[in-house]
Structure 1
Amino acid sequence: MARQIGYAPLRSVLPVRVLDGYGRDRAPARLDALVIENERVRATVLPGLGGRLYSLLHKPTGRELLYRNPVFQPADFALAGAWFSGGVEWNLGATGHWALTCAPLHAARVPAPDGGEMLRLWEWERLRDLPFQIDLWLPADSDFLYAGIRVRNPHDRTVPAYWWSNVAVPETEDTRVLAPADAAWHFGHTRALSHVPVPGGADGPEHPDGARDITYTTRAEHAADYFFDIPAGQRRWTTALDGTGRGLVHTSTDLLRGRKLFLWGRGRGGRRWQEWLTEPGTGGYLEIQAGLARTQLEHLPMAAGSAFSWLEAYGPLDADPALVHGADWAAARAEAGRSLEAALPRATVEAAYDRWLGVADAEPGEALATGSGWGALEVQRGRHRLPGTPFPAGTLGEDQKPWLELLLAGVFPRPPLDAAPGPCPVSPEWRDLLESADTYPGNEWFRDYHLGIAQWAAGDRAQAVRNWERSLAAHPSPWTLRALAVADADAGETKRAADKYLAAYDCLRATFLDRAAWTEDTARAAR
């Protein structure tokens, strides 16, 4: 665990841009949604918002198994800024809510293992440059939604990998979270990792978050993470059950080894965040989560040319309330485990995973949603073969156009007149291309600006600053001034940073005023 905690932490969110153009003014809006259903379950997915599994309705009982937020209210929680609560969020990349949580994914119909249809979601994750797919389907007459997930490393180098599936479920005063563990790793407001007993109990020691029994989340004072320490060989599962013994259960094949409970706590801060993320009168939520590592502080080395794949299952669980809410923790979790085995045997999940592998490479059929063009650009550059997850050239757009020109012609293009520079790839391969790229006379400043961004992302910050200073000397630019301001702030030179931010603002305003293109929107963006 110690090795993986110290392995390849994220230096910055480059090449992803921060999403912060949102506020608190709310109005009715339409969101694209895709629905998968059989006779017993209806699943609703939002392809334009990271493929979020928004709703999982159990038809026979009319129960909504997930916490379904009635509003889309972003807050600054994700690696790329905007994040919203509710449903099942997929997280690939690095510790934190992934950069695609408010971004569109590709989506299409694909043949399912049982001969029906499944929904495939896929994209190219840019923080670690990893393509992935999520295949969702409901076998006939099943109460469980399956999610077949695969992450591939198409490169000739080892890449750090991270995955957690975050499942938001309704929280009530009598909700209890159960998992096959007697201990957990606690990470809370002290920012320290400690090993604690589960569940604790009225006569046991108080946990760092102020709770004595962590399995009842409304009894804790502070927000906290608990990573369950599940013994080797045990089936991987977590469930959140209300006072009647009903709720959602999540299980998977064994590669997805980690299990976590996240709670907001009953303190003022946790209550305020729950209110901030939704609307008055909406109930609270907690999260049960599952990941590749034991904790979310870890990243795993993913060998060149390798893939991680596994199967998850989401569905209803009914257990004896007297047992699951009893004082005997061993009996409580044994009852939950027995109920899960009766509803969805472990062998059934393993068999479903084996069948899914047989169709994981199947080419998608009817396209239902379109993601970004970055995957198509990477396929062009690396000539990657990725059966089942096509990134066609037709998805290349304006953001990818200058990089395609660099790739095909070896020449870095001129910037569009009076427009902000577009997103910049920063992987080692693109950095090498930038370092050796030719460009047009007088355009060296633009190439050096982008090269500095790639070097900054790689941790070579001194060289990045040298490139930005050379760029600025050749051509005054608000974008380069801003980059140098960020560098000064990172070095603790706050006064110099403030001066450069002001100079960047003045330069931007003068540039746009010269073209009579200064608008309130531009001013707001500059500020």
Structure 2
Amino acid sequence: MTTIRRAELTLPGAPLGPANPLPALCPPAKVHAVSVDERLRETLPLDMRRQLGYRPLRSILPVPVLDGYDRTREDLTLEALILENSRLRVSVLPGLGGRIHSLHHKPTGRELLYTNPVFQPAAFALNGAWFSGGIEWNIGATGHSTLSCAPVHAARVDGPDGTPMLRLWEWERLRDTPFQVDLWLPEDSDFLYAAVRIRNPHEKPVPVYWWSNTAVPEEHRVLAPADEAWHYGYERALNRVPIPELDGTDRSYPLNSPHPADYFYELPDGTRRWIAALDDRGHGLAQASTDRLRGRKLFTWGGSTGGRRWQDWLTEPGTGGYAEIQAGLARTQLEHLRLESEGELSWCEAYGPLSADPVRVHGEDWAAARQEAEARLEEALPRAAVQKAYEQWRQCADTEPGERLATGSGWGALEVLRERLKLPGTPFDESTLDAEQAPWIELAHSGSYPEPRRVTPPGPTLVARHWRNMLETAPAAPLTEYHLGVAQWHAGDFAQAVRSWERGLELAPSVWPLLRCLAVADREAGQLQRAADRYAEAFADLCAERREAEVWTAACAALGREAIETLIAAGRLEQARTVWDGLRPVTRTRGRFRLLEARLLLAEGDKEAARRIFEEGFEVADLSEGSELIAELWAAVSDEPVPARYDFRMRPVREDG
């Protein structure tokens, strides 16, 4: 019998901490900004050429940045849901994006995934906090989902042939698209099925992005039915390359790649969609899908110093590294698809054990290796079986959930309530609405955004066109003007956003949120001195009204960091030092602020004091993916090579450093 039950997972971990209260007005870091040689662009398939430039993000609004964590671990107890039959035991974390933490094959006692022994957030998601390991579901836009460390709804559903099915669903806020992931284990099956559906309930097309991301031990060989791949490294250039051998090295072994890189496999039309990672004995994991999920990818940290440092950073030194095998809707993760009004996309995936002849799998003949893997996959899981499972699932995709097992956010309920949407199979109940949605419900019902009853940092801003229209017709009030300006800025109407924030200043009892937005606008417009003025004034106002609550500490840290960076850039070092002194002591001890202090000391000309900060040691918990800031600052304080503990560089290092 297949069963679903609740459980708890306890492991060392760093708590997520509070969200950043400042709206993320600027686009996320351009780690995935693509450079394509014009001669290559002319040879790209038409759909790929079109999708590479389709609807990139303006910002991550309305989602907040998650940067309140550190690297101090304690015993964390995480909610888990266990899906189990006689062959497999699957552990799912509904509080962390529905991540599959473990896929345990009971007959052999093998864990098929790389399971992280710790929970260590790092700044890899579009909105910050992300963690490695297991199988994650990436939806929204290029990068790791903003739901990576967020709760999703979960419930039991009657699945194909009456098999109990675990349904996960949420409202993806970057694109305002509801989605579901249905997981089930047929009785005595060695393979977990995962059926996915993304819907567009709106009147206009939306861009869609999806990649299922599986962590596997990096010592395995990765096989896929392709002879070419699109290589994308942290030089941010896309190139078509042969596989498995590139520059004299077999890149199907993740550790053979000299630097972190993506290899997006070019699967020929009509080819079965699959990817596998097998160890030296020919054992490992295979993932296969129906044809809709066309893309396959290998990500490797490679063998460079920076890549190895990231492995230790995201996991636990001495516990083994990982690579990622992924499956997506497009050829590459640099593309977004167009989903028409009231349309949907759906497909079925399968994950399970694969064993093949190790001599052939690890032989020099690439064609023979992948043919061996595909033949064994067809024996274990025929292509027709995955298609049949998908067709059976379609009959219960709209089945209403039964017992609720976990609760996600109330944002989907807000949109369903506003638009009176009907989304069979994925109910967003009004019972999930909470204090964050309350002012927006009042705006929708009364036409007015409520002013706060007590002094507190502003809540999150909704930026979709319908909410922006409501704010534009609402009675003018400071908080309304603040939210309206954020929504207008997100829409690209920068001048009108500035006018809204300036109007809000006239009557606002709390001016720092508006001044901070105006400072960002000045900075982006190249008005650095005016931005510095406004940041200094905003921070002083915040210090005058801040309280002891966690949200105030988070606001002070976020605003102080932006203010100091801008004041340093403007050459206003005395004011930067004043802001530094105004930070709370607990904030100044965090790694990000130790690094910021080193920058300030260097700007003040005290190179020796800046170097002492490096010698004392610090860890920047929210160091961004691809950031080279630490190495750059080290070069400013020392002529010595970057110490390994500070070397997070993902690109090849030139001889001149």
* TM over 0.5, shorter chain: yes
Q: Distance in 1 between matches of 2:301 and 2:138?
A: 19
Q: Distance in 2 between matches of 1:457 and 1:424?
A: 10
Q: Distance in 2 between matches of 1:239 and 1:60?
A: 20
Question: 118, 121, 132: which is aligned to 2:179?
Answer: 132
Matching residue of 2:429? 392
Q: Distance in 2 between matches of 1:523 and 1:159?
A: 37
Matching residue of 2:305? 268
Q: Distance in 2 between matches of 1:379 and 1:519?
A: 33
* 1:197 to 2:242 alignment: yes
Matches within 5 A, 1:486-525: 486-512=520-546, 517-518=547-548, 522-523=552-553, 525=555
Structure 1 residues 87-117: Cα deviation after superposition (integer angstroms, max 9, x where no partner): 0110110000010000000000000112121
* 1:465 to 2:498 alignment: yes
Equivalent residue of 2:552, what SS? helix
Equivalent residue of 1:294, what SS? coil
On the 8 A contact 1:5/1:298 being kept in 2, the answer is yes
Counterpart of 2:304, as a letter, is G
Structure 1 unaligned residues grouped into runs of 5+:
none
Query: Would the alpha carbon gap of residues 445 and 196 (structure 1) be closer, same or farther in structure 2, given more than 3 Å must change?
Result: same
Structure 1 residues 14-48: Cα deviation after superposition (integer angstroms, max 9, x where no partner): 00000000001011110000000000000000000
Counterpart of 2:89, as a letter, is R
Counterpart of 2:520, as a letter, is V
Equivalent residue of 1:185, what SS? strand
Matching residue of 2:232? 187
Q: Distance in 2 between matches of 1:75 and 1:487?
A: 28
Question: 235, 252, 265: which is aligned to 2:289?
Answer: 252
Q: Distance in 2 between matches of 1:503 and 1:100?
A: 34
Query: Would the alpha carbon gap of residues 358 and 403 (structure 1) be closer, same or farther in structure 2, given more than 3 Å must change?
Result: same
Q: Distance in 1 between matches of 2:231 and 2:553?
A: 45
On the 8 A contact 2:56/2:141 being kept in 1, the answer is yes
Equivalent residue of 1:30, what SS? strand
Q: How far 1:415 sits from its partner (Å)?
A: 2.1
On the 8 A contact 1:130/1:152 being kept in 2, the answer is yes
Structure 1 residues 441-468: Cα deviation after superposition (integer angstroms, max 9, x where no partner): xx62211110111111112222212211
Matching residue of 1:152? 199
Counterpart of 1:177, as a letter, is V
Equivalent residue of 1:136, what SS? strand
Q: Distance in 2 between matches of 1:378 and 1:70?
A: 37
> TM-score scaled to structure 2, two decimals?
0.76
Q: Distance in 2 between matches of 1:523 and 1:84?
A: 24
Q: Structure 1 vs Structure 2: percent identity of aligned residues?
A: 63
* 1:166 to 2:213 alignment: yes
Structure 1 residues 254-296: Cα deviation after superposition (integer angstroms, max 9, x where no partner): 0011111000010001000000011122100000001111100
Counterpart of 1:97, as a letter, is H
On the 8 A contact 2:157/2:166 being kept in 1, the answer is yes
Counterpart of 2:347, as a letter, is W
Matching residue of 1:99? 146
Q: Distance in 2 between matches of 1:132 and 1:521?
A: 31
Q: Distance in 2 between matches of 1:241 and 1:489?
A: 50
Counterpart of 2:354, as a letter, is L
Q: How far 1:120 sits from its partner (Å)?
A: 0.5
Matching residue of 1:423? 460
* 1:433 to 2:489 alignment: no
Structure 1 residues 113-168: Cα deviation after superposition (integer angstroms, max 9, x where no partner): 12121110101000000000000010100000000100000000000100000100
Counterpart of 1:155, as a letter, is H
Q: Distance in 2 between matches of 1:169 and 1:342?
A: 22
Counterpart of 1:47, as a letter, is P
Question: 323, 340, 365: which is aligned to 1:303?
Answer: 340
Equivalent residue of 1:114, what SS? helix
On the 8 A contact 1:509/1:518 being kept in 2, the answer is no
Matches within 5 A, 1:42-61: 42-61=89-108
Counterpart of 2:519, as a letter, is A
Structure 2 unaligned residues grouped into runs of 5+:
1-47, 558-657
Question: 112, 127, 131: which is aligned to 1:65?
Answer: 112
Matching residue of 2:371? 334
* 1:485 to 2:531 alignment: no
Q: Distance in 2 between matches of 1:519 and 1:378?
A: 30
Counterpart of 2:367, as a letter, is A
Matching residue of 1:279? 316
Q: How far 1:2 sits from its partner (Å)?
A: 1.6
On the 8 A contact 2:204/2:341 being kept in 1, the answer is yes
Structure 1 residues 205-229: Cα deviation after superposition (integer angstroms, max 9, x where no partner): 51xxxx7211011111100000000
Matching residue of 1:407? 444
- Which structure features the higher share of helix residues? 2
Counterpart of 1:153, as a letter, is N
Matching residue of 2:159? 112
Equivalent residue of 1:407, what SS? helix
Equivalent residue of 1:416, what SS? coil
Q: Distance in 2 between matches of 1:114 and 1:70?
A: 36
Q: How far 1:518 sits from its partner (Å)?
A: 4.4
On the 8 A contact 2:101/2:134 being kept in 1, the answer is yes
Bigger shift: residues 124-133 or 478-487: 478-487
Query: Would the alpha carbon gap of residues 155 and 520 (structure 1) be closer, same or farther in structure 2, given more than 3 Å must change?
Result: closer
Q: Distance in 2 between matches of 1:365 and 1:340?
A: 34
Q: Distance in 1 between matches of 2:502 and 2:295?
A: 46
On the 8 A contact 2:96/2:150 being kept in 1, the answer is yes
Matching residue of 2:68? 21
Q: How far 1:82 sits from its partner (Å)?
A: 0.4
Query: Would the alpha carbon gap of residues 6 and 432 (structure 1) be closer, same or farther in structure 2, given more than 3 Å must change?
Result: same
Q: How far 1:488 sits from its partner (Å)?
A: 2.4
Query: Would the alpha carbon gap of residues 520 and 239 (structure 1) be closer, same or farther in structure 2, given more than 3 Å must change?
Result: closer
> TM-score scaled to structure 1, two decimals?
0.95
Counterpart of 2:552, as a letter, is T
Q: How far 1:196 sits from its partner (Å)?
A: 0.2
Structure 1 residues 393-445: Cα deviation after superposition (integer angstroms, max 9, x where no partner): 111100000000111111221123111111121111111111122x3xxx622
Q: How far 1:500 sits from its partner (Å)?
A: 2.2
Equivalent residue of 2:276, what SS? strand
Q: How far 1:493 sits from its partner (Å)?
A: 3.5
Matching residue of 2:223? 178
On the 8 A contact 2:113/2:217 being kept in 1, the answer is yes
Q: How far 1:477 sits from its partner (Å)?
A: 1.5
Q: Distance in 2 between matches of 1:182 and 1:192?
A: 20
Equivalent residue of 1:421, what SS? coil
Matching residue of 2:629? none
Structure 1 residues 172-210: Cα deviation after superposition (integer angstroms, max 9, x where no partner): 2xx21000000000000221110000111xxxx51xxxx
Q: Distance in 1 between matches of 2:464 and 2:122?
A: 28
Q: Distance in 2 between matches of 1:489 and 1:37?
A: 54
Structure 1 residues 212-253: Cα deviation after superposition (integer angstroms, max 9, x where no partner): 211011111100000000000000000011111111000101
Q: How far 1:521 sits from its partner (Å)?
A: 6.6
On the 8 A contact 1:256/1:293 being kept in 2, the answer is yes
Equivalent residue of 2:443, what SS? helix
Q: How far 1:519 sits from its partner (Å)?
A: 5.8
Counterpart of 1:456, as a letter, is W
Question: 420, 444, 447: which is aligned to 1:383?
Answer: 420
Query: Would the alpha carbon gap of residues 10 and 406 (structure 1) be closer, same or farther in structure 2, given more than 3 Å must change?
Result: same
Equivalent residue of 1:412, what SS? coil
Counterpart of 1:71, as a letter, is V
Q: Distance in 2 between matches of 1:518 and 1:23?
A: 20
